[in-house]
Structure formats: C-alpha cells, structure tokens
Chain A
Amino acid sequence: MSHGAAITAVTLVAVATTVAGSRGLRRARSTGDFYVAARAVTPRWNAAAIGGEYLSAASYLGIAGLILAYGYDVLWYPVCYTAGYLVLLALVAAPLRRSGAYTLPDFAEIRLDSRAVRRAASVLVVLIGWLYLVPQLQGAGLTLATQTGAPSWLGGLIVCGVVIVAVAAGGMRSITFVQALQFWLKFAALLIPAFVLLAVWQHRDDGVAHGYPTAPRDATVQIGSATTVRVPVAESLEMHGVVDGVSTVGATRLTAGQHRLGAGTRVVLHRGDVIPVVTSLPAQRNESWIRPLGSGQDHPLYATLSLILAICLGTMGLPHVLVRFYTNPDGRDTRRTTLVVIGLLSSFYLLPTLFGGFGRVYAPDLLLTGDTDATALLLPERMLPGLPGVLLGALVTAGAFAAFLSTASGLTVSVAGVLSQDMLRRARDRPRAQRIRSFRLSAIVAIAVPYLFSLPSGHLGLAAVVGLAFAVAAATFCPLLVLGIWWPRLTAAGTLAGLAAGGVLAISAVLVTIVGGDADGWWGALLAQPAAWAVPITFIVMIAVSLATRRRVPAGVGRVMVRLHAPESLIAELRYADRSSS
C-alpha cells in the first residue's frame, strides 16, 4: 500500500509537469514572447517561480539528511542558501536585469565585448550545470528506491525522460506559472507533514537523548553492498550475514571500532541498541551533534567559514538562477522580486531543519547505511503508523519529485541553450527548424551526461555535492559579475585569466574530493572547501591582469555602465528626448 501511494504521487507530478510543459508551447515560442508576457508577471509570482526552480533535491531532502548525520554545522547550508540571495540583491540583481543578458555568457559578451570570454563562460555554465544536475538525478533514484523498492537507476531515468519531453515540447521554464506552482507544492508537501509530526512529537515528548544515537524501536536494516561501519561502543548486535569475513547468525559481540559488513548482511536493531555508523559519516555523541563545530570534521571553523563564502557568493553564479531574473520587467522590480524570494526561502528553510532534528530522534538507523538523504521521506511513516503516515510520506515524495523536475528542467534548459548556441557552431545563423533540432539534441546531451555520472553511487550526500557546485560558481562567475558590474577597468584578458585560474583551481579541488575521498588534515580541509582560497585568487588574478592590460579596456564601457546602472525610467526619457530632438 505504501508503494502504491508513492507511485501514484510520482506519476501525478510527472504527468502534470509534462502536460504543463507541452501546453507551454502555445504560450511561449521565443525569448521575445517570454519577455513580453513577463511584463504581466508580478514580483510575487516571479519570486515563487524563482523559489520553485531554486529549491532542489539538496534543499528538499539533502539538508534534513545532513542535519541528521552532522548536526548544528549543517544549519549553515539553508542560512547561506538564503543569504546568497541577499548578496545577489545587493550586488547583482538590478544591474544584471538592466544589462538585458539572458544567460551568463550573454552578460560576459555584453560587458566585455569578447567572444573568447563568452566561450569560457559557456564552458563553465555547462560544467556547473552538470555538477548540479548529478545530485538531482541521484536524489530521484534514491527517492524512488526508498519509497517503492525500485532499482536506484530508475528514478533518475524518469526525471530525464520527463525533462526531455517537457523541454523538447516547449521549454517548461517559459511558464512562470508552473514553476511558481511547483514552489507552493514543495512548500505544502513539507509544511503539512511538518505540522503533523510536530503534533506527534509534542504528544510523545521525545527529546534528543545524551550519548550515541540508539534505535528508537526494533528495526531491520539490510546492507546493500559491502560497507565498513564504526561501532561506537562495544555491544552485542543481532546480525545475519558476514561480519569481518566471518559468517554470523544471531547475536554477535562487536568491539568498539571498525567492522566490515558483507553485502546482503541483515542487522536487526533492537530498541536501545547503539547504532553503528557507516565510516563516511561521523559517529558522534548527541552532545557534540548539538554543539557548534561539533560535526567531527578537521578544521571545522575553516570549513564553516569557507562554506559560508562558497554558498553566499556562488548563488549569483548558478546558471538557472540568472535566467529567471529576465522575466522581471525592470531593475526595480528585480530587486523587489529578490526581496520576496528571500522571504519565501526564509520560511521554507525552517522545515528541512525540523525534519533533520526529528530524524536524529526517530530515524537514526539511517546512519548505518548512510542513506540519510531519505530522512524526510521516511519520517512520516516512522512517526505516524498506519494510513496517515503512508499518505504523508507520499506527499513528501510528490514534493521531492517536483523538486527534482523543476531544478533539473531549469538546469537542462540553461545548459542546452548554451550547448546549442555556443558549442554547436553559431546556431543563430541557421534556419529556425535546424535551430530547434539542435536545441532538442542539446537538451538530450545536457541531461544524459550527468545521468551517466549519477549512476555510480557515492556517499558524499546531496547537499555536499551541491555545495561543490556552489564553490565552483563562487570562484568563477562571482568575480566576473561583481567586477563586471562595479569596476569599469575590467578587461577581457583579465577576465579570461581569472576564469581560468578560478575554474581550474576549484574544479580540481572538487574532483580530488569526489574521486579521492576524504584526505586528512589541512590538505583535506582546503580541498573539501576550496572557496576561501579560490575566490580571492580569482579576484586578484582578474584585477592584476586587467591592470596590466589597461589599454585594452573595451571602448564602449561607459555606455555599458550607463545601461547597467541608470534607472529604466531615465533611459526611457532619454530615448524619448532623442527621438523628439532628431
């Protein structure tokens, strides 16, 4: 029955998205239509649409999972996801809208009048987009596997299919309305269960106990592939399978420390058993889980500060965020929209924290498998037995799929647009039919590549991978945007050098972290959180090379600066004066 409800929920969301996406074809045929239609869009709708696109698998599922595993330190993720929009509001929002750029490469070309910078920006948009898409697709696979027992590759494939159909049919992003509804669906899908679970919790009056997390009730955990777990205290656990190379059935005495569990081992946890924790997650007492910097990382203060920097500065560089600002009629409305976005995010992000906290109390056995991203999905059934729990679980699942679909389609459209425009040789010069075909092909490439990368399952956690995408965006697009908007002496050569330096440094740090796993000590900390050193380096390189090539400041920079900063009402007046005088 539980499977049936979840399958129905996923099907409903998928079908609704496809239908809405294909109907969009009639509404919006080109960016021009999109633009004109946008004049009727109020900041409130626009803000909900931005929220709809922004709240991804990482926000919806990942944060709750990370809070269960790491505790207090993860609270920085939602705070910075919100504060990132504040930085964007203060530095970028209005000028970017006034530039008239539709994508980041557009902005680079308008500001610096250079095809080479445009190319570099395009490559980075594709890389960041893919880095962001991988966890979305992994999250979809995990959600479907958790809720219906389907193989883990299926969920991602469904998302790919729906996104390709919707994007090929009409570019679902063009419909502000659909994205706005997706936001409210996601919000309601967490808010309603949150209220119910709060009531249940009040009724039971369970708190976060002292010591290591223990099983709240009897539960059987199936280990998929062979894993190493850390047992915090010596104890006897009921296990069926292979432990440390010895086959065991029934109660097994385990010493404190690491133990290897063979594939297919069943661990039967009894109420009160201390839960073994997979080695990729910290095994910490609840006391340090509650404490700031208690998540057991190396150099936690550095990691926290660098994460804050990465997310706050990376938000402005995400490919699917910028495009939404284009739907605002002018710079002033763009600011107001951003303000509403900050309000919406502030209310939404109260919820994943709540789920994460409940997860520590009611679903700590997820620490054994490491599938903590499933926390929000499993909690309703854990806390509320019977049909109500199943229905609430299905509601959370529906919201999760809305999150994957909206973010994945937004990213796919952004990446596909860049692929077809900039990679497939001057698509603009070709006839319309060919152009559309090349866009559709690009859309397939744009989502198929990250799907392939999402298949080998890593245990880095959704929000952690997304954090790396933010770090790359912060080390490349943030300096480009900030200097481009506020510093007239930026040159194309300086920008290229900065993008190359920041891109290479941040991406190699990310690759080492994803592929090589956790290194220890300062090296590991620096590589896992590259923003704190990569962002300043990029700024310094951009400024230094620009000053060295100061003779090559683009000729029209004064005019571009006027366009970026002058209020639209004044520009309109100037145009009018121009026409009447000539």
Chain B
Amino acid sequence: MTSEPLRRVRITHPRTEAARRAPIRPASREIEEQTALGEVYMGSLIRSQRRLGVIVCGLVAALLGGIAVFGALATNLDRMHLFGLPVPWLVLAIGIYPLLIAIAIYTVRQAERNERGFIELVRRPNQPIDPAPPTSERHDRDVSLS
C-alpha cells in the first residue's frame, strides 16, 4: 500500500452533506453484492453455526456412545434396580429422552442467538466499517469462506 501513487483526496467539512454521503455502506450490501467484506460477514455466521453443529453432534455422540461403551464395560449394572426397573433400561428407555430434548432446546436457542447477533452486526447501517473505497475490492476472493 505504501508504494501506491498519491491520490487526490477530497477534504470536506465534517458537517456538510458530502461527508454524510461518503462511501460508507451497510454491511448487508456487502453480503448482497458478494464482496470480500460480505464474505467475511457471512463466513463469521457460517463458522459460528458450524461450531454449534459440531458441539451438538459431539454432545449426542458422547451421550449415546458413552452409554453404549459404559454398558459394555459395567457388566453387573443390570442387577441394580431403580423404581422396579433395571438401571440400564431406565436410562435408555426413559431417561435419555429428556436429555435429547434439552440438547434440542439448547441448539434452537443458540442457533437463533447466532442469527440475531449476525443481523445486529450487519444492520448497523451508517458506521464506517471499512474505510477503503469498496469498489476496488469487489470480487476479490482472497478471503475465503472456509
């Protein structure tokens, strides 16, 4: 950037109309127009949702796999009874369902929170997020989504 030739810079009084119409764009436009900046925004949402997906799948895998492996290791567990049922049956026939529902509620809440945060971020309309002129950076694919 330092080697760039000097550009003509327009200097205006901050309280004039011109200053307010400076090339400051809401982030939602960046997303709509597929700019690099828009991809950064979208990428952050996708990453947060993907992290949630990985966490939830990890929880489910740990829960189900844990019960299966524990059942294989603790062989005398079936002789223990609770409420007239063998403990492994109590866990897998009844007890696990409230846990699955709880994880589902967590997933929905967290996913909606991620989306709300994202919308708030891109809706802040007139904030200078990127001071560089946006036109020069369109279709620059350096910043990938992954």
Binding site for B on A (CB under 8 A): 72, 75-76, 79-80, 82-83, 85-87, 89-91, 94, 287, 290-293, 300-301, 304-305, 308, 312, 332, 335-336, 338-339, 342-343, 346-347, 349-350, 353, 486-489, 558-559, 561-562, 565-567, 569-570, 573-574, 577-578
Contacts and interface: CB of A to CB of B under 8 A. Distances in A.
Nearest to A78: B93
Contacts of A570: 28, 31, 118-119, 122
A566 B42 contact: yes
A476 to B, nearest CB: 19
Contacts of B39: 558
A574 B42 CA distance: 14
A80 B64 contact: yes
Interface string B43-54: 001100110110
Contacts of A489: 146
Contact of B68 (A94, A304, A559): A304
A565 B92 contact: no
**Residue from B65, B86, B100, B112 with most neighbouring chain A CB atoms (10 Å):** B100
Main secondary structure, interface of B, reads helix
Given A72-B88, A343-B101, A566-B42, A486 B50 contact: yes
Contact of B78 (A79, A83, A290, A486): A290
Contact of B56 (A90, A343, A346): A90
B53 A292 contact: no
A349 B123 CA distance: 44
B88 A83 contact: no
Interface string B66-107: 001101100101100000001011001110111011011101
A206 to B, nearest CB: 12
26 contacts: A72-B89, A76-B68, A79-B96, A87-B56, A89-B56, A90-B52, A90-B56, A94-B111, A291-B88, A332-B115, A335-B111, A350-B94, A488-B144, A488-B145, A488-B146, A558-B39, A559-B34, A562-B31, A562-B42, A565-B45, A567-B118, A569-B119, A574-B28, A574-B29, A577-B29, A578-B32
B9 interface: no
A86 B100 contact: yes
Given A89-B56, A293-B72, 17 more contacts: A79-B96, A90-B52, A90-B56, A91-B57, A290-B88, A308-B68, A312-B60, A335-B111, A336-B108, A339-B108, A353-B93, A489-B146, A562-B34, A567-B115, A570-B118, A577-B28, A577-B29
B97 to A, nearest CB: 4
A566 B31 contact: yes
B92 A72 contact: yes
B44 to A, nearest CB: 11
**Residue from B26, B34, B78, B93 with most neighbouring chain A CB atoms (10 Å):** B93
Nearest to B50: A486
Given A83-B60, A561-B42, A573-B28, A89 B108 contact: yes
A489 B101 CA distance: 33
A72 B112 CA distance: 37
Contacts of A353: 93
A135 B58 CA distance: 32
A562 to B, nearest CB: 6
Given A75-B92, A291-B78, A565 B49 contact: yes
A335 B107 CA distance: 9
**Residue from B57, B65, B96, B115 with most neighbouring chain A CB atoms (10 Å):** B115
B104 A86 contact: yes
**Residue from A86, A332, A347 with most neighbouring chain B CB atoms (10 Å):** A86
A339 B42 CA distance: 25
